[in-house]
């Protein structure tokens, strides 16, 4: 029987949803639970799903009562206040959050990504043998930048992390916009979903700045280096915009701090003079790459530069972004709320926050009932449709003038 014969048939859900979050991303997790509860309440009221009468389908709060305890030695443990037996558990973790401090014997320390990952393992190991299925939602992949082995003397941390989660019994791993999608090859038997955040990032930008014209004569998508070409191609294709790429010309005759220095940046693309720029990268770490590229684009005659990245880490602070904004080098920076953002970042005039809470809630809702989420995580068609609506709106605006 072909797969078409099953179209429209709802598969049995794995079990009632239970959501567990770290202390670091508690607010985000609570909002996901609230949105999920509101979605399912509407279905219950309208009898819009065959599962509405199942125990645990609708709850006012899906969050499991847990507490992560830390001893002064630095060791920790997880305490669970209720049972997860038979549950479809979704663990949402922010492994790079710097907002949690712990008091140890020699004073106060900021929890590192290693500490957060160790807590994740505590949660998973507590649920193993009780939960019906364990799913980990890790928007920013822990050690995701060491996904390939550079040489025989370097570690392969991302692969080791995924193998460890799989060996502990994790059924599904959900991450957003990974540095390299080939990480899924490390655990071929574990379900790995890699949804994109481009749709929400783009709609947030275009909804706020109505002056951006989505046409080939006005706007160009740019990648700051050759490593981000695939991401930039996605944007340019979905929005039907021209693409520009910066190529890093390195001096391979010398090494400084273990890397070959960059001799020159070469821009590959048509003229950008007088055009708006949508500058794409997979993350803003210190921001040096993004700001250096923006400065170069400005010197080439670019108009307004909008920086888009799923993850804004800002590890070197905000001063350089403040200066770039004041000088007119950048117009705005758009990132998601998938990871921790400080109040300082959220209060900046140049920063826009793309809300991914409804998206994460929808992914949990779909995975719980074994619904295909391909169309949900593949945002190409939705982004193209949004771009068409923007153009249609511009046509009507011109007609009414």
Domains along the chain?
9-196+357-370 (3.40.50.2020), 198-337+382-396 (3.40.50.2020)
- Rounded-to-integer distance, Cα 335 and Cα 150, Å: 29
The backbone region for 122, taken as left when phi is positive above 0, alpha when psi lies in -120 to 50, beta otherwise, is alpha
Is 53 buried (19+), middle (13-18) or exposed (0-12) by CB count in 10 A?
exposed
pLDDT at 327: 96
Residue 381 has pLDDT above 70, yes or no: no
- Rounded-to-integer distance, Cα 380 and Cα 233, Å: 11
Local confidence band at 149 (pLDDT 50, 70, 90 cut-offs): low
Q: Tell me which residue of 204, 215, 169 sits closest to 190, measured CA to CA.
A: 169
Could you tell me how far CA 58 lies from the centroid of its own chain?
Answer: 27
- Per-position DSSP letters for 228-288, written without gaps between them: GHHHHHHHHHHHT--EEEEEEEE-TT--BTTBPPEEEEEEESS--TT-EEEEE-S-BSSSH
Average pLDDT of span 187-192:
90
Residue 251 has pLDDT above 80, yes or no: no
pLDDT, one tens digit per residue, over 294-337 is 999 999 999 999 999 999 999 999 999 999 999 999 999 999 99
Structure tokens, 219:
């706007």
The backbone region for 8, taken as left when phi is positive above 0, alpha when psi lies in -120 to 50, beta otherwise, is left
Q: Tell me which residue of 71, 178, 170, 66 sits closest to 128, measured CA to CA.
A: 170
pTM of the model: 0.87
Pairing of strands 88-92, 17-21: parallel
Pairing of strands 107-110, 101-104: antiparallel
- Rounded-to-integer distance, Cα 87 and Cα 127, Å: 9
């Amino acid at each position: 029987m072909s797969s078409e014969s099953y179209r429209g048939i709802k598969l049995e859900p794995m079990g009632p949803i239970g959501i567990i979050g770290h202390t670091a991303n508690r607010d985000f997790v609570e909002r996901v639970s609230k949105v999920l509860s509101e979605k399912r309440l509407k279905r219950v009221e309208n009898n819009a799903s065959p599962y509405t009468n199942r125990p645990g389908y609708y709850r006012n709060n899906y969050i499991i009562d847990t507490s992560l305890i830390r001893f002064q030695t630095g060791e920790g443990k997880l305490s669970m206040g209720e049972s997860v037996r038979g549950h479809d558990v979704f663990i949402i973790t922010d492994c790079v959050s710097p907002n949690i401090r712990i008091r140890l014997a020699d004073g106060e320390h900021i929890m590192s990504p290693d500490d957060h990952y160790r807590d994740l393992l505590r949660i998973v190991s507590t649920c193993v043998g009780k939960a019906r299925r364990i799913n980990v939602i890790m928007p920013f992949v822990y050690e995701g930048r060491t996904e390939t082995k550079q040489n025989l003397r370097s570690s392969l941390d991302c692969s080791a992390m995924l193998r460890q989660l799989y060996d502990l019994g994790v059924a599904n791993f959900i991450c957003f916009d990974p540095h390299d999608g080939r990480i899924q090859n490390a655990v071929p038997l574990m379900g790995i979903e890699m949804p994109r955040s481009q749709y929400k990032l783009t709609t947030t930008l275009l909804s706020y700045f109505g002056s951006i014209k989505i046409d080939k004569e006005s706007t160009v998508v740019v990648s700051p280096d050759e490593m981000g070409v695939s991401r930039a191609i996605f944007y340019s294709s979905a929005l039907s915009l021209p693409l520009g790429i910066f190529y890093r010309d390195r001096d391979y005759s010398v090494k400084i701090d273990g890397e070959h220095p960059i001799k020159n940046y070469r821009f590959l693309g048509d003229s950008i003079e007088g055009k708006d720029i949508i500058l794409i990268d997979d993350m803003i770490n210190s921001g040096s790459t993004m700001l250096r590229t923006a400065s170069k684009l400005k010197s080439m005659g670019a108009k307004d530069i909008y920086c888009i990245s799923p993850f804004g880490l800002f590890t070197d602070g905000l001063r350089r972004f403040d200066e770039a904004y004041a000088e007119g080098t950048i117009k705005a920076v758009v990132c998601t709320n998938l990871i921790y953002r400080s109040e300082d970042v959220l209060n900046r005039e140049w920063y826009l926050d793309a809300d991914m809470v409804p998206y994460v809630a929808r992914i949990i809702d779909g995975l719980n009932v074994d619904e295909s989420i391909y169309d949900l995580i593949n945002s190409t068609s939705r982004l193209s449709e949004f771009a068409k609506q923007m153009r249609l709106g511009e046509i009507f605006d011109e007609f009414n003038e």
